[in-house]
Amino acid sequence: MQPANLLTVISDQLPNLNCSESKVAAVILADPEAATRSSIANLARAAAVSEPSVNRFCKRFDTAGFPDFKLQLARSLASGIRFVSSSVDPGDDVTAYTSKIFDSTINSLAMVRDRISHERISQVVDKLVQAKRIYFFGLGASGAVARDAEHKFFRFNLPVSYHDDVLMQRMLAATGSAGDIFFIISHTGRTRELVEVAQAARAGGATVIALTAPQSPLAAACTLPFTVDVPENTDEYMPMSSRIVHLVMLDVLATGVTLRRGAEFLPHLERIKKSLQPTRFPAP
Amino acid sequence: MQPANLLTVISDQLPNLNCSESKVAAVILADPEAATRSSIANLARAAAVSEPSVNRFCKRFDTAGFPDFKLQLARSLASGIRFVSSSVDPGDDVTAYTSKIFDSTINSLAMVRDRISHERISQVVDKLVQAKRIYFFGLGASGAVARDAEHKFFRFNLPVSYHDDVLMQRMLAATGSAGDIFFIISHTGRTRELVEVAQAARAGGATVIALTAPQSPLAAACTLPFTVDVPENTDEYMPMSSRIVHLVMLDVLATGVTLRRGAEFLPHLERIKKSLQPTRFPAP
DNA sequence: CCCCCAAAAGGTAATAATATTTCATAAAAG
DNA sequence: CTTTTATGAAATATTATTACCTTTTGGGGG
């Protein structure tokens, strides 16, 4: 959707530029941020060329003119900064690592948002709506995700549980049958235990949905793979953002199911909400 | 620090705007991308106001004028943060509710990122680094957050546990003493049980940190309130994004602690990572 | 209840800033 | 010695800003 980063394009084209154009390029690449703020006269002066030269430079890069060029530049800078600064260094101070972690999480979410198959979400919601019973399975960090999922799906008035105990998972999988959904959550999709659980559940005729990495053994082993591609953090200091993405995906699924249930389901939700009131101090 | 997203700022200010300013805001929010491309005359016409009104609008939002405003707008658009005006409607299709949920989550994160006190993060990290023992407490959805926190903090080689059982929480709070940290997570901060637990733990000399809403009874009851202000979703269909924000805040804290521990701590983390290898299928 | 004033909001038109085009000239290539 | 290409000066067009004027609004006295 977004065209290639303007700064990259400029530096790629650097050898093909003529004298005054490359002077302009040099000034812009030296401080792109400043370039977005200056006027054409300013920039021309800084590059020691005439204003029309700057204008020609802009048009060369498929922009309508100088103002449009600045706009595009600002855009590439904004998206660029966030991608570049995504890993935490040992020397980072609070401000630095805090925004890096937030930015990288936001990026993962934005990326998945733009790439996720809505078709597939629809299919998964279909299955969940028809389910007689749902099990959420996860281990380690994904155990917490499974627990959160249970907490969201119990509202739908059907038997839902989460399990982070491999033995329980195996036993439940062995007894699964048509109408049961085993919803398996795994960051890597390569955990042997979970793959075996998926196979066992499938053998019994149950539906197995896996929220996991694409092209993983787990995705291959289930009936309906629901894969999200979250760029792997190789950085030692960086937290896994796949957990977060998984949680949001489950929010989406739960919302899909709620909408499918229709408006007559709302009083039920309202009742659940009300039930918590006595446990709380009144709102200010 | 990154300035707040311009679109978010505009919609925050929406109620404080006068007639023509809100007309301008409406046009911009309806199609921000188009706004970055149009001239001031164009936009004024679209909003049925005069050009100076648009200019005044721009200055109200701390920009130098219309061109600068467009630049900032372009920047906000490129940051992966998309502005979301409406919440989920019963008539929404998959595409609509999926992006609404993602966008609203991303927005909450961006908002907290720009408003959080780094000073306070630092203080909390200080406390956590010095802890002899950490308990994470949460109920309901925050129980899953507490569980995730346990999974992140156990790496630091000190006794960490999570509890979502009120009786356990009470008993542990009663036995807490200096050097213990009770880290209480609550979306509303108004759960009576948790407030009482906080008071009990504090009475015993333990440090009580609460990740919760500002100005809540829980924030008042603890030694070190660590508040995040996540706009409340009044919408029936919309999931709570505070859970996600809390998880990311805990990521930040864990990263802070890791960095404090220094490089000699990395082999320890590496060992933990290696321990999982036999449980997995090899990576492709 | 009305009138008048003050303050705020909004528009018109003049002005300033900025960008673009046209055209002339100089340098390089053929 | 052309022809092409690169470049800048100046004119023009576009766009934004300012200054100033009109209308509206709301709030006390008369």
B126 vs A84, more confident: B126
- Strand C bases within 7 angstroms of protein beta carbons: 8-13, 17-22
In chain B, where do the E strands start and end? 133-138, 160-163, 180-185, 207-212, 224-227
Beta-carbon contacts of residue B51 (< 8 Å; ≥ 6 apart): B40, B41, B44
Contact B106 A103 (CB under 8 A): no
CATH number for B1-81 (one of 1.10.3470.10, 1.10.10.10, 1.25.40.10, 3.30.70.980): it is 1.10.10.10
B106 vs A219, more confident: A219
3 state SS of A251? helix
Whether B117-266 and B1-81 are alike in CATH topology: the answer is no
Domain ranges of chain A: 6-84, 114-276
At A247 the pLDDT is: 96
The type of residue at B217 is P
CATH number for the domain running over A6-84: 1.10.10.10
For residue A2, pLDDT over 70 is answered with no
Q: Which among A101, A110, A243 has the least Cβ separation from residue B255?
A: A101
CB distance A35 to A70 below 8 Å:
yes
**Would the Cβ of A40 be found within 7 angstroms of any atom in strand C?**
yes
Q: Alpha-carbon distance A257 to A253, whole Å?
A: 6
Give the pairing type, strands B133-138 and B180-185: parallel
Per residue in A174-198, pLDDT (tens digit) is 999 999 999 999 999 999 999 999 9
Instruction: Pick from B94, B236, B245 the residue to mutate for testing the A interface (most A CBs within 10 Å).
Output: B94
Per residue in A238-284, pLDDT (tens digit) is 778 899 999 999 999 999 999 998 777 888 888 888 888 888 888 77
Q: What is the CA radius of gyration of chain A?
A: 26
**Would the Cβ of B53 be found within 7 angstroms of any atom in strand C?**
yes
Q: Alpha-carbon distance A44 to A233, whole Å?
A: 42
CA-wise closest residue to A71 among B52, B36, B3, B84? B36
Long-range contacts of A120-123 (CB under 8 A, 24+ apart): A120/A226, A121/A226, A121/A252, A121/A253, A121/A256, A121/B94, A121/B98, A122/A256, A122/B94, A123/A224
Quick one: fold of A114-276? Answer: Rossmann fold (3.40.50)
CATH number for the domain running over B117-266: 3.40.50.10490
Contacts of A281 in chain B (CB under 8 A): 190-192, 195, 217
At A1 the pLDDT is: 35
CA-wise closest residue to A252 among B92, B148, B234, B138? B92
Alpha-helical runs (H) found in B84-216: 94-115, 118-130, 141-153, 166-175, 192-203
Length of chain B: 284
Contacts of B192 in chain A (CB under 8 A): 279-281
Q: What is the largest CA-CA distance in chain A?
A: 79
Contacts of B246 in chain A (CB under 8 A): none
3 state SS of A182? strand
pLDDT tens digit at each of 284 positions of chain B: 444 578 878 887 888 888 888 889 999 888 888 899 999 989 999 888 998 999 999 998 888 889 999 998 888 887 666 666 567 888 889 999 998 899 889 888 888 887 899 999 999 999 999 999 999 999 999 999 999 999 999 988 889 999 999 999 999 999 999 999 999 999 999 999 999 999 999 999 999 999 999 999 999 999 999 999 887 666 667 778 899 999 999 999 999 999 998 777 888 888 888 888 888 888 77
The type of residue at A89 is D
- Strand D bases within 7 angstroms of protein beta carbons: 5-10, 14-20
- The backbone region for A218, taken as left when phi is positive above 0, alpha when psi lies in -120 to 50, beta otherwise, is alpha
Q: How many CB pairs under 8 A join A and B?
A: 218
User: What interhelical angle do A242-261 and A118-130 show, nearest 10?
Assistant: 60
